[in-house]
Amino acid sequence: MEILLLFAAAALLPALYVIVQYNGLVGLRNHIAEAWSNVDTELQRRYDLIPNLVAVVQGYAAHERDVLERVTALRDRCFANRGPVGEQARDEIRLVDALKQLLARVENYPQLKADRHFLELQRELVNTEDRIQAARRFYNGNVRDYRNKRETFPSSLVAGLFNFPPAEFFSVPPAVQEVPDVEFG
């Protein structure tokens, strides 16, 4: 009887280990999905601000049409992109670059820089960019934890056995990591 209990325990312990590791990986994968949802929410906030920003600038700087159209087109592209994280990050980089160009050109319009609606939009944009950075850091922290669990032994055996896919960091090149400078005079 004791030998039977020993064999049962010997069979049960590895099964329990696999279950615990599997559940841990599932939990981390779900944290990543939740964190990405937070990033997506903040990006949506940016997308909602851009048409207002473009409309205000357009009223003052009608001949800056090429930059305004580029910002609008990139905003629409980012809004529609629900692909892999790396693909979305590339589109976001392009959008931030276009926004920086737009805001740099605003320097030529003192009346626009003093416009109450524009000042409110720029404050909201700075706040939104800060929130995007925070959400991105939270997402990347969850990806780090998941990747550590997925890639370290012995939990990597369970990850491989149940085909847990790799997760991508939401990274941007160093030139884009700073919040766009939208302080005017």
The pLDDT tens digits along the chain (185 residues) read 788 888 878 888 888 999 999 999 999 999 999 999 999 899 999 999 888 888 888 777 766 778 888 888 999 999 898 888 888 888 888 998 888 888 888 777 777 777 788 888 888 988 999 999 999 999 999 999 999 999 999 899 999 999 999 999 988 665 444 444 544 44
Look at phi and psi of residue 146 and say left if phi exceeds 0, alpha if psi is from -120 to 50, else beta: alpha
Query: Residues 6 or more apart from 100 whose CB is under 8 A from it?
Result: 180, 181
Instruction: Please calculate the CA angle 70-118-116 and round it to the nearest 5 degrees.
Output: 165
Instruction: Indicate whether 95 belongs to any domain.
Output: yes
Question: Residue 39 in contact with residue 170, Cβ under 8 Å?
Answer: yes
What tokens were used for 33? Answer: 């999905």
pLDDT at 173: 60
pLDDT at 109: 78
Instruction: Indicate whether 184 belongs to any domain.
Output: no
Instruction: Indicate whether 128 belongs to any domain.
Output: yes
Q: Domain range holding 92?
A: 2-176
pTM: predicted TM-score of the whole model, two decimal places: 0.78
What tokens were used for 119? Answer: 């000042």
Instruction: Indicate whether 185 belongs to any domain.
Output: no
pLDDT at 10: 83
- Locus of tokens 């615990």: 20
Instruction: Indicate whether 182 belongs to any domain.
Output: no
Write the burial class of residue 13 (CB in 10 Å: 0-12 exposed, 13-18 middle, 19+ buried): exposed
CATH of the domain at 140: 1.20.1440.20
pLDDT at 174: 54
Alpha carbon distance 141, 135 (integer Å): 10
Q: Where are the beta strands (DSSP E) in the chain?
A: none
Instruction: Indicate whether 93 belongs to any domain.
Output: yes
Instruction: Indicate whether 183 belongs to any domain.
Output: no
- Locus of tokens 């160009």: 101
pLDDT at 153: 92
Alpha carbon distance 21, 23 (integer Å): 5
Alpha carbon distance 135, 153 (integer Å): 29
User: What's the structural domain count of the chain?
Assistant: 1
